[in-house]
Amino acid sequence: MSGKGGVGKSSVAALLAVTLRQQGQRVGVLDADITGPSIPRMFGLHETPPMGPVGILPAETKTGIRVMSINLLLPDEDEAVIWRGPLVGGAIRQFWGDVVWGDLDVLVVDLPPGTSDASLTVMQSIPLNGVVLVTSPQDLAGMVVRKAARMAWQMKVSIVGLVENMSYAVCPKCGERIEVFGPSQAMGTAMQLGVPMLGQLPLDPELAHVCDTGAIEDYAVDVFEPIAAKITERASARPSTPIF
């Protein structure tokens, strides 16, 4: 969750799923971004998932990550979903309650921007272990993320911590770190919120490429593994199945 659009919530959600799957966990991804879904494209999923005897079966990636998204149910992935809030909320509840997820160790929920219908439905309808907040280096993004944090607190949902995405770029010639968006403000945001800083992710053209081509499971997740470990450690203290 972020509240802010364009900070990379979906790529962070996908990287978390890929990292945990590589560790041998049974992982699902619920794409709660009904009007702007991107998870299926990242995993190269385009086919409509089959119906099971008691509900819809999630699509499955090549490494066995189970995925449900509205884009898998549309006749064309470019089709616009022009729905009001109640329909958006209803779709999310169906993705949680009517999809036959099977036995999972972790279900990752990818939320859209904002703090209204979709986020409210997820926090009211799904037993969450906690929320991972995603930001970018600018304090403008941090301001909106702080709104999302306040929503989580009001809904009595724990915050696992903060991930800063697009924190820096690495020069391919000299290896120098370049702060493309200026000095990081994420630590200040984490301190204001009183939540852990889970880690920083680089602005990586290769990540953009694998997301565009549906090959995110081929991405080297070394940089994300320490973040995933902190998320798992903090979320495992929660009383129910880890859901982020």
pLDDT in tens, 209-228: 999 999 999 999 999 999 99
pLDDT at 52: 80
Tell me the per-residue pLDDT of 69-101, one tens digit each, with 9 for 90 and over: 999 999 999 999 999 999 999 999 999 999 999
Q: SS3 breakdown of the chain: % helix, strand, coil, rounded to 5?
A: 35, 15, 50
Q: How far is CA 61 from the centre of its chain?
A: 16
Average pLDDT over residues 163-169: 95
Distance from C-alpha of 144 to C-alpha of 112, rounded to nearest angstrom: 13
Q: Is residue 241 very low, low, confident or very high in pLDDT (cuts 50, 70, 90)?
A: very low
Go through the domains of the chain in sequence order and give each one's CATH number: 9-235 (3.40.50.300)
Does residue 243 register a pLDDT over 90? no
Q: Is residue 53 very low, low, confident or very high in pLDDT (cuts 50, 70, 90)?
A: confident
Q: For the ranges 8-12, 110-114, 234-238, which has the lowest average pLDDT? A: 234-238
Average pLDDT over residues 151-155: 95
pLDDT at 238: 55
Tokens at 76, concatenated: 């064309």
Tokens at 90, concatenated: 């209803």
Average pLDDT over residues 14-42: 97
The answer to whether 167 and 141 are in contact (CB under 8 A) is no
Does residue 231 register a pLDDT over 60? yes
The answer to whether 217 and 45 are in contact (CB under 8 A) is no
18 CB-near residues (< 8 Å, 6+ apart)? 63, 65, 216, 217, 219, 221
Provide the 10 A C-beta neighbour count for residue 105: 15
Q: For the chain, what is the mean pLDDT? A: 93
% of the chain surpassing 70 pLDDT: 97
pLDDT at 189: 94
Tokens at 60, concatenated: 């499955």
- Count Cα atoms within 13 angstroms, Cβ side, for 44: 13
pLDDT at 54: 85
Measured CA distances, 17 to 30, 107, 137 (Å): 11, 8, 23
Torsion of CA 69, 216, 130, 109, to 10 degrees: 0
Tokens at 9, concatenated: 């919530």
Torsion of CA 86, 92, 98, 102, to 10 degrees: -170
Assign 127 to helix, strand or coil: coil
Does residue 232 register a pLDDT over 90? yes
Please tell me what DSSP assigns to residue 48.
P
Please tell me what DSSP assigns to residue 59.
E
Nearest to 191 by CA among 165, 216, 162: 162
Assign 169 to helix, strand or coil: strand
Measured CA distances, 77 to 38, 109, 193, 201 (Å): 10, 20, 37, 28
Average pLDDT over residues 27-40: 97
Average pLDDT over residues 44-64: 92
Does residue 132 register a pLDDT over 60? yes
